[in-house]
Structure formats: C-alpha cells, structure tokens
Homo-oligomer: A and B are copies of this chain.
Amino acid sequence: MTGVAIVGIGHSKFGRRNDVSIAELAFESIHGAVEDAGIDKKQIQNVTVGSVGGWYEENVPATVVNEYAGLERVGSMRVEAACASGSAAVKNAYLSIASGEADIAMAVGLEKMTEVDTLTAVELMGRGGSYLWEFENFGMTFASYYAMFAVAHMNRFGTTEEDLARVAVKAHHYGSMNPLAQFQKEITIEKALSSQVVSWPLKLYDASPISDGSAAVILASEDTARKLTDTPIWIRSIGASSDSADMSRRDSYVGLGAAVDASRKAYSAAKIGPEMVDVANVHDCFTIAELMAYEDLGFCAKGEGAKLLRDGQTMIGGKIPVNLDGGLKAKGHPVGASGVSMMVEISKQLRGEAGKRQAPIKNGIGLVHNVGGTGHYCYVTVLSRKR
C-alpha cells in the first residue's frame, strides 16, 4: 500500500464570518492549500467536504464548494460524523489515495454556524445527542452533557473548577499567538472562574465558541508527495470508533470509550505508544473534554489529567504540548472544520513552521484527537515526519 502524506495545508480566519458566503469561506482554505502544495488545482481527483450543516440554506454544500473553487467534474461528497466530520473527511481522502483510486485528494472542513442565531445553534448542537430522549425530555444541551462529565470527574478524582479554568487560560495563551484564532487575548484564571455559569461547573470560559471557518488539506500518494515537497507529513494511521448516543447506556462518565478505543487502534496501526507523541491537538469543545482526552489518549493515567496540566506538561517545554493553536476554545470551533484545522496545526508543528508556538519535535510524531457528539464518534489520527 502506498504511503499517504499531507502536502498542502490551508486555513481561513475563524470567527464570525458574515463577510463571506460558505463557498467563499471554503475557498479561503482551498486556495491556501493548493498554493501550499504547489499544484494546479486540476490535479485534485477527489474532494471530500466535512460539514455538519443544518445552518445554511444550501444543504448540499459539497457541490457549491467544488464549483466555486473551479473543481467541477471531480468526484465529491460531503461526510458527517458530528463534530468529528473534519477527521472523517480526511479519512475519506486518505482512503481514496491508499486504495490507489486517486493520486491527489483534498479534504475540506467547513462550517458557518453564525448563519443561525445562538439559541438555534445550541438547539442544533443538542440534536447531536439522543435527541428524542435526552433533549426533548430533559432539555440536555452540549454544555449540560459535558457538565455531567465534569461533575463526575471532580467527584471521583478531585478535579477542581480552577483546573478547568486552567485549560481555558492555556488555550487563550496560545490563541494569542495564532493570527487565525477567533480569540487572540490572554485571560486569567480569575476571569474564567468569574464568567457566567452555563451549566455548573462549566462557565462561559469553559466552552468553545460558535464559529465560522474552514480548513483544507491536500493529500498525495507516496511518489507524488516526495516530488511535491521536502516536508511531507505522513498519515501513519487513523483509528475510528463510536459509542452509544444514549448517555444512560455509557459505562463511565469520566472519559469517552470511543476515544480510548480509537486511540488504541491508531497507536497499534502506527506501531507507537502515547509516549512517542511530540505534540497533539485534542478536542477541547469544553475544558473538561481536554482533561479527559489527556487520560483517554494515555498521556497520563485516568484521573491525572488535571495534574498533568498543573505541572505544565501540556505546555511548550512539557512532556506533551497540547493545542498550541489555541484549541477549539480560543481558536474557535466551526464544527465540521475543526478536525481538518487540527491536521493543519499538527502539520505545521511537524514541519517546524509554527513560529512562536512551535513545540520541540523529537520523535517526529503528532496526534489529532477529534470527537463527535459526546463521544458518539472519535477519530484519532497519527501524523509523522517519517513514512
């Protein structure tokens, strides 16, 4: 089987983007990725658009995106795995090359959530759960699902509200160095702790924002990748898993079973362990999610996520720097775009192009952890400097 490498990356500004249509928003990252890859866009044989949708009138977005980018006649589809749609799109593009079907393929992540008002957005996000049971009967929203996890984690492991706030402070610290981030301002623990309670113990600063944005990666087969670039970033493995949509059927509320399973699959296929990972982007839709991710991915033992952060081990200079682009919390979380955005960041880190927020790279290995729903889906992707 041919190796598959990321040879081009593109990323739009994240935030409230009512200055552009969805096609224009997608084009910002597509154009960047094509330029970065140094290809003619006509060489792209396959386009996969990761998008949850439901926010805009155009409900068949892939064709609109293709057309605006001048990519008609290319095989195309949209994929959706809730907030893991971006990773699902990358997986689809990866498979098209690994199978020999395409030589160059593109994955685009796209979402324009501010097309609807905030309450509608919250309702639509809530539909990612077991809608008819949990949303209709109990009014569960995404914040309240993750609040459940936070309470369980605090209760069982002594994690505190300060620990959660610390995740937000780290996110904003690195977000302040990312010109494409939605929020580029540092915050303090005090500010996070005193922000409005959304669903206790989660406050405004524990939650990722509603965002518009796009990100794109161009993948190529081994031979083509080596011709195109001196810094191909190889996709070593993609582990995928899923879980019950019904929270009452989960075994545990201090972690995500799908994340544990997906990461084990990804490590095993890449023949590495978590200690080999130099830099990671994890799915911090809420602060508690980042702490659980540290544990689910094996960066520390279960229950020790808060300690890992407190010890500075997930900052630059620590054992495993995490979310150096500001994470979903500060960079923004345009849901379908987020997984692809994470691939862009880890590619930059492994290329050594992350500037002020560059992590030291030792083993040449990075990881992307992208969750859909409350662990309904999880995709873990291992990226590497070496094939």
Q: Which residues of A contact B (CB under 8 A)?
A: 1, 46, 52, 54, 57-60, 62-64, 66-67, 71-82, 85, 88, 91-92, 94-96, 98-101, 124, 127-128, 130-132, 136, 239-246, 249, 257-258, 261-262, 372-373, 376-377, 379
Whether A63 lies near B98 (C-beta < 8 A) is no
Whether B77 lies near A80 (C-beta < 8 A) is yes
What's the nearest-Cβ distance from chain B to residue A24, in Å? 13
* Closest Cβ neighbor of A56 among chain B residues: B131
Whether B81 lies near A78 (C-beta < 8 A) is yes
Contacts of A80 in B (CB 8 A): 60, 62, 77-80
A-B contact pairs, 12 of them (CB 8 A): A57-B132, A57-B136, A59-B128, A59-B131, A60-B81, A63-B373, A64-B130, A67-B244, A71-B242, A75-B242, A77-B91, A77-B240
Whether A72 lies near B244 (C-beta < 8 A) is yes
* Closest Cβ neighbor of A78 among chain B residues: B80
Contacts of A1 in B (CB 8 A): 99-100
What's the nearest-Cβ distance from chain B to residue A99, in Å? 4
Given contact pairs A63-B373, A77-B88, a sample of 9 additional A-B residue pairs in the complex whose CB atoms are under 8 Å apart: A60-B245, A62-B81, A63-B377, A71-B242, A75-B91, A77-B377, A95-B99, A95-B101, A98-B99
Whether A82 lies near B99 (C-beta < 8 A) is no
* Closest Cβ neighbor of A237 among chain B residues: B101
* Closest Cβ neighbor of A67 among chain B residues: B244
Whether A246 lies near B377 (C-beta < 8 A) is no
Whether B82 lies near A241 (C-beta < 8 A) is no
10 nearest interchain CB pairs?
A75-B240, A98-B99, A95-B95, A99-B99, A63-B376, A77-B88, A77-B81, A78-B80, A76-B242, A59-B127
Complex partner residue of A242 from B74, B257, B373, B377, CB under 8 angstroms: B74
Contacts of A376 in B (CB 8 A): 60, 63
Whether A127 lies near B81 (C-beta < 8 A) is no
What's the nearest-Cβ distance from chain B to residue A345, in Å? 22
Complex partner residue of A240 from B52, B76, B132, B249, CB under 8 angstroms: B76
